[in-house]
Every structure is written in C-alpha cells, then in structure tokens.
Homo-oligomer: A and B are copies of this chain.
Amino acid sequence: MATIEDVAKLAGLSRTTVSRVINDQPYVTEEKKQRIIQAMNDLGYVPNSSARRLRSQRTETIAVLLPRITNPFFGNLIESMEEKASEWGYQVIVCQTHDSEKKEMDYLQLLKTKQVDGVIMASIINNWDDVEPYLESGPIVVCNEYMEGTPVPTVHMDHKKASYEATLHLMEQGCNHIAYVSGGPNSHLTSQRRKGFEEALKDKGTTKIEDLNIDWALDVKDGQKVFHFIKENHPYIDGVFTGSDEVAAGIIYEASQNDWEIPHDLAVVGFDNQMISLLMVPSVTTVEQPVKQMANKAVEILLQQLLHPGTHYPREYVFDHELLIRNSTKRRKLSVH
C-alpha cells in the first residue's frame, strides 16, 4: 500500500504540502494540488482519515455497470474490484445492462437517488452526452470500454495492439485466409480491435489473405454456428481471430465433431484467457487481459474522486496484454538446428 511519503516523492513536493491537500487546507496552488492528486491516483493512495470522515456521510456503496455477468471476463473483473473496494470498507453492487440503453440509464439513476456514491462503467451503450449529466450526482470511472474525449478517467487495455499481435501470430503460423469473428454492439473497443486486425493484414502486405467478417458471435453456441458457416460457405478459411474464448471453444468443439483437425485445418485464437481456453482439447491460444490491474486502478481512481469531489481528471490509464500461445494455433513445428 502506498504511503504519504510515496505521494510526496512522486509529486516532487513535501510531505507537508501533500498533507495540506489531503486535509483541504489553504496555501497550495492549484497546479501543485493537481500534481498531488495525480500522484495519489497513480499510486492508488487513499488517505485513511479522510476516507473515514467521508464514509460517515455516504452509502459506502459503489455500483459497477456491465453487460452480463455470465461472461467470465466481467465476473473476474468484479471479483478484483470487490476485493479492492472492501479494503476501504466499500461494498460493490453489480448491475447488468444487457447492452440496453434504457437499463444503463436506469442504473445510472442509482447515483441520482443517492443509492450509491459512485459508478464504474465497464461498458457504455448510450452516447456520452446522455451519460454526462449524471456526473453532477457523483463520480463515474470508465473501465474496459473507452471513448475518446470523455471528461472522466478511463482504464483499459490496448485492444488494437492485442488484436494486431494475435493476427500476426496467425499469419506466422501459415494462415492465409483469416476470418474476423466478433459480436455485441459496436463500440470504441471493438472498432480498435478491428483496426488492429486490419493493420496486421495490411502490414503483411500479402493479397492472399482473405478478410471474412462475422459480427454476430457471442457465446459457445454462436461459435458452433460460426464453424458451420465457414465449413459450408468458406471452407478455404484456415485461421480465425475471435474476440471471445467461448466462441473459440464453440468453433473447436464443433470442428472436432466434424473431423476437422485443429489447428491444421483451422487455427483459432480466442480472447480473455478464460479457464475454458486451457481445458479445451486442443487448448486455445488467447489474449490475456490484465484484469486485476485494471480493476484495482478503476476502484482506486473512483475512491480518489469520492475523497476529492470535483476533480474529474480525464486521464487514460492503458494496460498491456499478453498473447498466450497454445495448441489451437501451433501449425508450425519448431525448426531443429
């Protein structure tokens, strides 16, 4: 846990100045104040006494909005957020929007009716213009999903970079006709992922690569349909990039039922490193998101904002992915010298 000394060091200011900011005392310039708040955000420092003082006037509850908890990515995100929040005596309530604009608005009302102190949005369906008025009732942090130009802190992974790397990997394994499989509503996140895929194709510069777009695949059952769609309409496809381990599992399951050999007939990349990606036969190459780090950062920033109301510092916190290469894409044998 970060200390007040760590904050002073990072901000390049004295412990006394930091203490002044924490206790809302005068004689600190706005510029220094911002530097200190930024340092507290970066370190995840939450002053104890302020936290206590604050809590007594609050519900000590934050809400996390997400599309659906049956997606294990969000389940794991919530686990980490709760752990972090409960370190500071806050409880977390989980609200499923099911990608519905109305439900998202209904849950944001929890801020207005003072049922919660702050909100973390792990997805956004409405336009930001419709969300922004709720900032008057309490702080909002955006985590996982992101939008350029929002006046709130956002915490997310670089999805463009991740899909670029995963697509390059498929090409390095000798895939020449790669399908892009996604699902759910269009968002900044999904468009960034798509861009990474397209840039990888472009950078490789080979015209052999086919771009097949499937945009309706969300779960295992959809993955099974994807396999049949490929088999019947585009049997020349030899690689698939999916935005979901569940879709990848569905493709692999159905392929084995139809005597296609994975990865030789079809190489498959999943997303999120869910447990299922390890348990499948063959195991699934996947992109691991830094779920715990993103969850911790989002909660820390939200608590900071509860402690320092009015300081909506619209900074982006971008985390890096890891590509885990498993048997669903290993088409090339290691060369022996």
Contacts and interface: CB of A to CB of B under 8 A. Distances in A.
Interface stretch (A74-82, A147-155, A156-164): A74-82
Contact of A93 (B72, B94, B113, B280): B94
A96 B113 contact: no
Contact of A79 (B70, B76, B110): B70
A134 interface: no
B70 A76 contact: yes
Interface string A51-63: 0000000010101
A212 interface: no
Interface in A88-146: 91-96, 98, 103, 106-107, 110, 113, 115
B276 A115 contact: no
A113 B59 CA distance: 9
Given A59-B113, A275-B220, A69 B94 contact: yes
Given A115-B115, A276-B276, A75 B82 contact: no
Contacts of A79: 68-70, 96
A2 interface: no
A82 B66 CA distance: 14
A253 interface: yes
Given A70-B76, A279-B276, A91 B82 contact: no
Contacts of A256: 281
Given A107-B91, A280-B279, A281-B281, A82 B61 contact: no
A281 B283 CA distance: 11
A268 to B, nearest CB: 13
A110 B75 CA distance: 22
Interface of A: 59, 61, 63, 68-70, 72, 75-76, 78-79, 82, 86, 91-96, 98, 103, 106-107, 110, 113, 115, 220, 246, 249, 253, 256, 275-276, 278-281
